Amino acid sequence: MLLLIDQDNVLADFSRVIYTEMCARGHRDRAVPPAKQTTYPIEEQYPPELLGELKSICAAEGFFRSLPPIEGAVPAVKEMVAEGIDVRICTHPIQAYRNCVGEKYEWVERHLGAAFTTRMILTRDKTVIAGDALIDDNPDITGSCAPSWRHIVFDQPYNRTVAGPRLRSWANWRAVIDPMLASVPLRTGAAGSVVGVGVI
């Protein structure tokens, strides 16, 4: 099974840090607590006059590197690889990519180990990436192609109306993934293995 896993708000707690940064910058009255986020993307829930602040928070040095892991995500992903699932982290960099791209890799290295960085795919169009399934909080993933993967919705307050398989927490990943393994074979994916050829 080739399993694509999104990073922000699936592995890394993006919305929580947006909220705390908005509060720290003096916008507590209009900051969106993660439990009350009703839109994807988050900027649709902020007034136009705060969009510059929102962009500034996301583009700042240290933002993506500092995101705390979503509860249970790190052990779950390690278990998946150890059990032979070919996990790839499929993530959408922001347009102001300079800090974001490197720090997304740093986050993976810090929490999952250096070898895991070889499992990263950065794209703003996930429909062009092949896979058996994609675990993603985005309720409406669109792009240039018909997706080859099945969307497993990672539960967040803003995607609760979407039908289909849903991962409510990382603690019960087997309940969602194991039934799919009946129809999709495992691939080799030893824990910590490097993906791709060469040492550079």
Q: Rule CB under 5 A: which residues touch Mg ion? A: 6, 8-9, 137
Across 40-149, the runs of DSSP E, i.e. the strands, are: 86-91, 120-122, 133-136
Contacts of 125 (CB under 8 A, 6+ apart): 143, 144, 145
The backbone region for 169, taken as left when phi is positive above 0, alpha when psi lies in -120 to 50, beta otherwise, is beta
CB of 52 to Mg ion, least distance (A): 22
Q: Which is nearer to Mg ion, 35 or 114 (CB)?
A: 35
- Which helix (H) or strand (E) segment holds residue 150: the answer is strand 150-154
Residue pair 1/148 in contact by the 8 Å Cβ criterion: no
Q: Is 6 a catalytic residue?
A: yes
CB of 12 to Mg ion, least distance (A): 9
8 is catalytic: yes
Which tokens go with 92? 């959408």
Residue 27 or 104 having the CB closest to Mg ion: 104
Nearer to Mg ion, 86 or 137 (CB): 137
Give the catalytic positions in this structure: 6, 8
